[in-house]
Amino acid sequence: MSRINFYLFFLISSIILFSTQRIYSQGVGTIRGQVTDIKTGEALLYANVLIKELQTGTSTNDRGYFVFTSIPQNKDYTIVASYVGYEEKTLTVVVQANRVTELNFTLNPTSFELQTVEKVGEKQAETNTTDVGLRVITMKELESMPQGVETDLFRSLQYVPGVKTTGDISSRYYIRGGSADQNLILLNGAAVYNPFHALGIFSIFDPEIVNSMELYKGGFPAEFGGKASSVLNIITKDGNKNKFNASAAISLLTGKVLLEGPIPHGSYIISGRKTYSNSIFKKFLNNQDVPLDFYDFSFKVNYANEEFSEGTKIVLHGFTSQDKINRNSELSEDYKWQNNLFGVKWFQVAKNTPVFWDIGMTMSTYQGEIIPKLSNVKPQLNDVKDLSFKTNINYVLNSRDEVVFGFDIKDIKTELELENNRGAVSKISSKGSQIAAYAKYKFIRFDNFGIDAGFRLNVAQLSEKSGSTIDPRISLTYSFIPQVSVKLAYGIYQQDLITLTKEDQILTLFEPWLITPDYLEPTISTHYIGGLTFRFIENLTLKLEGYYKDTKNLPIINSEKVFNSDPDFRAGEGESYGWESFLGYNNELINFTISYTNSWSYKTLDGWRYYPKYDIRHSFNTGLSINIGKGWLISGMWIYNSGLPFTQLTGYYDKYIINDIYFDEDYFSSTEPYTLLGDKNIARLPDYHRLDLTLSKKLSLGSLNMTFNFSILNVYDRKNILYFNRETGERVNMLPFLPSATLKVDF
């Protein structure tokens, strides 16, 4: 039956594609183009493009392309393109009937002495955009945020409403009640399984290679699957297409080098980063000296030869990272984590037809290992191998509607080796194939109304208990007046690749991945989202968004496991709901944001309902960046979170410890204190808040461009609690007052 569904989907999709190619009204044409940086040739994602005569606007996609359809023929049109931090550019064009007119923009960056902010066409572009739950973060925005030790992608997410963290020592994030392993993290479309450096304190992605990040906090469209909570899609730069460029940067933590430049008919970019000192880690780890060492390396090569194939772009990309903890003592265990990723993608713009399509293949691997040496810690090893193939076709109809469909095929193998206290070694090996087809129709022909309706047909899934299923996805927007938009979304999401995570751990050292065991059903999460967007004043935006998420078949670690034959997981349920607000104002001088989130998260096991460790009732962030001219930028962010849940210590009792029943002494007199705990996570830690500040200066010395950043984390040295030591009663606090500095030089 599953094969019949698969072939039926393919047949229907093909009919839609080839039939729509003939739906061209008489007397109209299409304008298509790309917006790029004039100095580097880098695509400008989500730039604004406006046809003045028609007062119709749109935004470039994640490759920098834009499309206008149904444009009346034989008329002169004035097209305006703009992007934050770039000079506005205007071009004129004459549209021919039943033809695609190519019009490419190259924008010039404004002087760094005073960055201007352009918003041309934004109102028209967003009134019919079905982007509920989506947050796009560009490098321009990252640069204006407080940096701390150095700019970090994941730590910047804590400023986004709805995104939660459990403390300063971890950049792991939790979105709308979902656990960390429910977040799909993609690098150029390839899944990354352990995207953290230094015990999870920092992300493995160097911000210097990033063009933009798309964060779907829920309700994500049909082209994404395999995870139940959110999607973070990281898109890297292509590299300078016009000239060779090199940069070097140093912080209190790492040193890094970036090289980029042109090749015949293309470009490349190479980046490497490595720790040279781990002294800064003591501030994060309660003054403990942990011998952390990590590196990451990435590359990307782009080739586009019009003589070879018109409209074709071929991309090769790769990434590797490694973390080690090598202790000097043979009585202490070592740790090692490593990611490797390689991919190739063929992107095609069809000639004289508003069609985009791409085909990609990636190999992503992860290995984590605990090396006990002579310690009492038991060895563990986790291997993940992911071979993926994906194709995506996007057709823009003459009505401006879009048809999108494709296939997503994965072959995944996981291995987990464990040793129990008796020395018995368990080797859990599992593999499976994930075959999915997806299709959606974007109804955006009206300026004030849009629908993104689709489905994901899961032909085969990793878990043996999963059959062929269909997951519907739909989101819509309606603007009853140009200044106000109403947005709604609904979707069903499945996940059968999970981590073995102990919820009570303060610092996560080892989170092995495995396919959902055969005795459990895959996790199914249903999202309901609604929101309002207000734009009554130029450059001022207010967004309100509410959500409800219901999760079934949630794997929860079996805390009552006694024998090896007992299951490691038990099936529970999850529920989360809340609302988020965001107010933002920006102009050529300042960028001001303020956000508040009120949320509830629950897990249920055997009828017992409790709060997960990331359940934060109230979150409040406010940020301000001021461009004071002559290359100076000052920014600050104040963060407030209500207390995290924790399990209280209610008392002690003397527990008999029998080490050797054949020992000659009276072993019944051998006792040790044993802690008594209250209900799980029933109490709350004190509130958390801190202020971060950054001062940045850009200057030129001949051919060198330099950027200096000085930052202070926790300016007023707030004593934010991390945990209470149950053995000593000692209070352990998080990150104290911490000044830091970075220097970047562009050659």
Task: Give residue 205's pLDDT.
Answer: 92
d(CA 446, CA 435): 35
Mean pLDDT computed over 46-74: 86
The residue count of the chain comes to 747
d(CA 733, CA 318): 39
Terminal C-alpha separation, the chain: 60
Q: Say whether 512 sits in a helix, a strand or coil.
A: coil
Q: Which residue has the tokens 């794997």?
A: 555
Q: Does domain 2-125 have CATH number 2.60.40.1120?
A: yes
Confidence at 400, pLDDT banded by 50, 70, 90: confident
d(CA 744, CA 86): 21
Task: Give residue 22's pLDDT.
Answer: 44
Q: Are 645 and 663 in contact (CB under 8 A)?
A: no
Task: Give residue 609's pLDDT.
Answer: 93
Looking at domain 134-233, its CATH class is mainly beta
Task: Give residue 127's pLDDT.
Answer: 62
* Residues facing 367 on adjacent strands: 338, 383
Q: Which residue has the tokens 């057709």?
A: 395
The pLDDT > 90 percentage for the chain reads 42
pLDDT at 656 over 60: no
Q: Are 224 and 216 in contact (CB under 8 A)?
A: yes
Mean pLDDT computed over 357-383: 90
Of 606, 608, 602, residue with least CA distance to 576? 602
Q: Say whether 187 sits in a helix, a strand or coil.
A: strand
Q: Are 88 and 49 in contact (CB under 8 A)?
A: no
Of 87-96, 174-183, 544-553, 722-731, least confident by mean pLDDT is: 722-731
Of 155-169, 361-375, 499-513, 652-666, least confident by mean pLDDT is: 652-666
At the topology level, CATH places domain 234-650+682-746 in Maltoporin; Chain A (2.40.170)
> For the residues of 638-681, what is the DSSP string, one character each?
EEEEPPPEEPPEEEEEEEE--S-TT-SS-GGG-EEEEEEE-STT
On the CB side of 469, how many CA atoms lie within 13 Å of its CA? 19
Answer with the residue of higher pLDDT: 493 or 565.
Answer: 493
Mean pLDDT computed over 182-203: 90
Helices (H) and strands (E) counted in the chain, each on its own, are: 5, 48
d(CA 524, CA 463): 13
Mean pLDDT computed over 381-400: 91
Task: Give residue 285's pLDDT.
Answer: 74
d(CA 33, CA 43): 11
Q: How do residues 609-641 score in pLDDT, each as one tens digit?
A: 999 989 999 999 999 999 888 888 899 999 999
Mean pLDDT computed over 303-317: 88
Task: Give residue 666's pLDDT.
Answer: 47
Mean pLDDT computed over 453-477: 88
Confidence at 688, pLDDT banded by 50, 70, 90: very high
How high is the mean pLDDT of the chain?
Answer: 84
The pLDDT > 70 percentage for the chain reads 88
Task: Give residue 413's pLDDT.
Answer: 94
Confidence at 28, pLDDT banded by 50, 70, 90: confident
Of 101-110, 146-155, 214-223, 466-475, least confident by mean pLDDT is: 146-155
Task: Give residue 652's pLDDT.
Answer: 60
Answer with the residue of higher pLDDT: 616 or 423.
Answer: 616
| Domain assignments of the chain as residue spans, ordered by start | 2-125, 134-233, 234-650+682-746
64: left (phi over 0), alpha (psi -120 to 50) or beta: left
Report for 239-243, 563-567, 698-702: range of highest mean pLDDT: 239-243
d(CA 470, CA 239): 39
pLDDT at 273 over 60: yes
pLDDT at 675 over 90: no
Task: Give residue 673's pLDDT.
Answer: 60
Go through 342-368 and write b for each residue having 16 or more CB atoms within 10 A of its CB, e for each that does not.
Answer: bbebebbbbeebbbbbbbbbbebbbbb
Report for 409-418, 419-428, 541-550: range of highest mean pLDDT: 541-550
Task: Give residue 18's pLDDT.
Answer: 47
Q: Give phi and psi for 154, each to the nearest 5.
A: -75, -35
d(CA 516, CA 382): 15
pLDDT at 727 over 90: no
d(CA 223, CA 475): 14
3-state secondary structure 363-392: EEEEEEEEECCCCCCCCEEEEEEEEEEEEE
Task: Give residue 128's pLDDT.
Answer: 67
Confidence at 424, pLDDT banded by 50, 70, 90: low
d(CA 594, CA 187): 29
pLDDT at 195 over 60: yes
CA dist 600 → 132, 443, 562, 574, 647 (Å): 20, 34, 32, 11, 18
Task: Give residue 506's pLDDT.
Answer: 67
Mean pLDDT computed over 705-718: 92
